[in-house]
């Protein structure tokens, strides 16, 4: 061992996330020291510093970053939505920050979440991921100020005043935002096209796609901010999938005990129960669909009114969702990939949500006024979604902040779903009852065939 001071090399580790430093830091520093000794250096070279910055920042963009950024994006949209709905008379002091959040912060966070997801599944390299993240962050700032500028310009035009100050910057800000989004999109799309075997044409095609997609995205962000939340939720759910998390999961520490998989249950009773419940849900779902779309002809209460028949159909479908969800719970619990509470709490919450939907459609007159059951249904489904995502988040259990992150992200998802999507989407989800029942009818055979082989491999 030479007397080479390792501190200049260790300082480069600050660019890496803590978990990466713990697993790889000593090995990387040792390699850099060996290389410095061979080439007669006492510190990292400029190229080594640059490479460490890119690699370290890239290592921060994984499944966890995707989940956190997507959750914050959903939360930002929800906060913006609350600002628009409940503080309409607040003037520019409320209106402008809300615009900045909805047209700048939320889309930028969604973009960063997408970048982190693509890097987590190895579709994007470190350099492209970091560059795209910077582009999207600056694009978000431009877009946010562009939204405020547009609003000020609109007010000025309304009052017959000239466009001055920030209002005069609307087009340059929007243009800069779109241009940076184009660069980011080209970086995101090119690797996927290269993988598709397009070779040198991939870069040209990626630029063409980016030139078309960036302005469309910009328009969507302004015209339909809720779209951002939909994309963020999709990213969130995909990033929480075990396969995605496994791709970037840090190797367990040397000597750490491997988690013992729960042995799958193979009781015939469970399979029969899940199939019976799914069968009931399938039959109920079929009746509900028929009632919703053709019940006006035979329903004694609808008496030819399509709207009443549709509401009655939704009640039947929402009630049918309950056995379908319990059947799904039985299947997931039998596979024993998750603790029982992580299966049954989301299932119970979702079942309560659909029970609330059925109650709301049964007792309210459907005049559009918010009811406790309507909001409660959205909140219950939000809780189910939040629990399902949060327990699958790839956070290290070794440090205390993991629980705090889980609670924060979970509350964000639940709040965002309830306020942004839940009120509209939850009753529509009831129409998925027969589909879910069919899926459950297929699932048990696949699960029971797969799990033992996975366990035997682990052994």
Partner 1 sequence: MATTLGPTGFWILTALAGGRRHGYDILREVDAASSGRAAMKVTTLYAALERLERDGLIRADGEEVVGGRARRYFAIQDAGGAALEAEVAALEHQARVARERLRAAGRPAVQPGFGRTAIA
Output 93 or 251, the one with its CB closest to partner 1. 251
Q: Does 26 bind partner 1 (CB under 8 A)?
A: yes
CB of 265 to partner 1, least distance (A): 30
Q: Does 55 bind partner 1 (CB under 8 A)?
A: yes
CB of 33 to partner 1, least distance (A): 6
Give, as ranges, the residues between 115 and 134 that touch partner 1 (CB under 8 A): 122, 126
Output 33 or 380, the one with its CB closest to partner 1. 33
Q: Is 252 exposed, middle or buried (0-12, 13-18, 19+ CB in 10 A)?
A: exposed
The rounded radius of gyration (Å) of the Cα atoms in the chain is 26
Output 30 or 216, the one with its CB closest to partner 1. 30
What tokens were used for 4?
Answer: 């080479």
Number of neighbouring beta carbons within 10 Å of residue 408: 16
The alpha-helical segments, DSSP class H, found in 194-225 are: 201-223
CB of 198 to partner 1, least distance (A): 11
Output 250 or 375, the one with its CB closest to partner 1. 250
Angstrom CA distances, 264 to 24, 56, 305, 331, 336, stand at 34, 39, 50, 10, 5
Binder among 17, 19, 57, 58 for partner 1 (CB under 8 A): 58
CB of 1 to partner 1, least distance (A): 4
| Angstrom distance (rounded) from CA 227 to CA 221 | 7
Q: Does 48 bind partner 1 (CB under 8 A)?
A: yes
| Angstrom distance (rounded) from CA 380 to CA 388 | 12
| Angstrom distance (rounded) from CA 172 to CA 429 | 42
What tokens were used for 68?
Answer: 């956190």
What tokens were used for 220?
Answer: 């969507």
Give, as ranges, the residues between 345 and 384 that touch partner 1 (CB under 8 A): none
Give, as ranges, the residues between 390 and 419 that touch partner 1 (CB under 8 A): none
Q: Does 78 bind partner 1 (CB under 8 A)?
A: no
Give, as ranges, the residues between 299 and 318 that touch partner 1 (CB under 8 A): none
Q: Does 51 bind partner 1 (CB under 8 A)?
A: yes
> How many residues sit in the footprint of partner 1 (CB under 8 A)?
29
Q: Does 275 bind partner 1 (CB under 8 A)?
A: no
- Considering only the stretches 106-114, 176-184, 247-255, 295-303, report the one whose residues sit in contact with partner 1 under the rule CB under 8 A: 247-255
Give, as ranges, the residues between 166 and 225 that touch partner 1 (CB under 8 A): 197, 199
What tokens were used for 274?
Answer: 């899940």
CB of 3 to partner 1, least distance (A): 11
Region of 122 on the Ramachandran plot (φ > 0 left; ψ -120 to 50 alpha; else beta): left
Give the CA count within 13 Å in the CB-facing half-sphere of 94: 13
Output 44 or 144, the one with its CB closest to partner 1. 44
Output 51 or 438, the one with its CB closest to partner 1. 51
Binder among 17, 19, 21, 28 for partner 1 (CB under 8 A): 28
Output 1 or 159, the one with its CB closest to partner 1. 1
Output 4 or 179, the one with its CB closest to partner 1. 4
What tokens were used for 268?
Answer: 């015939």
Classify the C-alpha dihedral 49-51-54-60 as positive or negative: negative
DSSP per position, 94-161? HHHHHHHIIIIIHHHHHHHHHHHHHHHTTSS-HHHHHHHHHHHHHHHHHHHHHHHHHHHHHHHHHTT-
DSSP per position, 29-69? HHHHHHHHHHHT-SS--HHHHHHHHHHHHHHTSSHHHHHHH
Binder among 159, 251, 256, 258 for partner 1 (CB under 8 A): 251
What tokens were used for 15?
Answer: 């660019």
Contact 106, 73 (CB under 8 A): yes
Binder among 31, 196, 294, 372 for partner 1 (CB under 8 A): 31
Binder among 85, 93, 254, 258 for partner 1 (CB under 8 A): 254
| Angstrom distance (rounded) from CA 24 to CA 5 | 19
Q: Does 247 bind partner 1 (CB under 8 A)?
A: yes
Site for partner 1, rule CB under 8 A: 1, 24, 26-35, 38, 45, 47-48, 51-52, 54-55, 58, 122, 126, 197, 199, 247-248, 251, 254
């Amino acid at each position: 061992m030479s007397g080479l001071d390792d501190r200049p090399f260790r300082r480069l580790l600050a660019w890496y996330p803590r978990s990466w430093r713990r697993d790889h830091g000593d090995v990387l520093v040792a390699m850099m020291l060996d290389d410095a000794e061979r080439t007669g250096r006492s510190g990292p070279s400029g190229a080594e510093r640059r490479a460490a910055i890119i690699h370290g920042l890239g290592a921060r963009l994984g499944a966890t970053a995707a989940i956190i950024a997507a959750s914050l994006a959903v939360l930002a949209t929800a906060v913006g939505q609350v600002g628009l709905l409940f503080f309409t008379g607040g003037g520019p002091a409320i209106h402008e920050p809300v615009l900045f959040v909805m047209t700048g912060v939320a889309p930028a966070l969604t973009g960063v979440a997408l970048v982190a997801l693509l890097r987590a599944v190895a579709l994007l390299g470190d350099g492209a991921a970091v560059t795209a993240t910077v582009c999207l962050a600056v694009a978000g700032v431009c877009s946010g100020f562009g939204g405020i500028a547009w609003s000020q310009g609109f007010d000025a035009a309304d009052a017959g005043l000239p466009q001055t100050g920030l209002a005069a910057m609307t087009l340059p800000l929007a243009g800069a935002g779109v241009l940076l989004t184009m660069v980011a999109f080209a970086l995101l799309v090119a690797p996927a096209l290269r993988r598709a075997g397009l070779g040198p044409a991939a870069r040209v095609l990626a630029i063409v796609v980016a030139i078309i997609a960036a302005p469309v995205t910009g328009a969507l962000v302004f015209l339909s901010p809720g779209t951002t939340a939909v994309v963020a939720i999709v990213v969130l759910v995909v990033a929480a999938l075990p396969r995605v998390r496994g791709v970037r999961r840090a190797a367990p520490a040397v000597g750490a005990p491997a988690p013992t998989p729960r042995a799958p249950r193979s009781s015939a009773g469970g399979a029969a129960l899940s199939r019976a419940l799914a069968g009931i849900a399938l039959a109920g779902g079929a009746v509900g669909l028929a009632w919703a779309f053709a019940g006006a002809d035979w329903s004694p209460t609808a008496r030819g009114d399509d709207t009443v028949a549709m509401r009655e159909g939704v009640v039947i479908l929402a009630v049918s969702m309950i056995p379908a969800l319990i059947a799904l719970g039985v299947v997931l619990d039998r596979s024993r990939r998750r603790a029982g509470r992580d299966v049954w709490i989301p299932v119970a919450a979702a079942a309560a949500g659909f029970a609330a939907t059925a109650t709301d459609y049964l007792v309210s007159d459907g005049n559009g006024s918010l009811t406790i059951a309507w909001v409660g249904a959205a909140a219950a489904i939000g809780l189910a979604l939040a629990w399902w995502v949060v327990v699958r988040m790839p956070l290290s259990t070794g440090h205390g902040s993991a629980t705090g992150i889980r609670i924060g992200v979970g509350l964000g998802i639940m709040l965002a779903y309830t306020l942004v999507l839940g009120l509209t989407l939850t009753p529509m989800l009831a129409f998925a009852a027969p589909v879910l029942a069919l899926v459950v009818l297929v699932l048990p055979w696949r699960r029971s065939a797969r799990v033992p082989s996975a366990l035997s491999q682990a052994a």
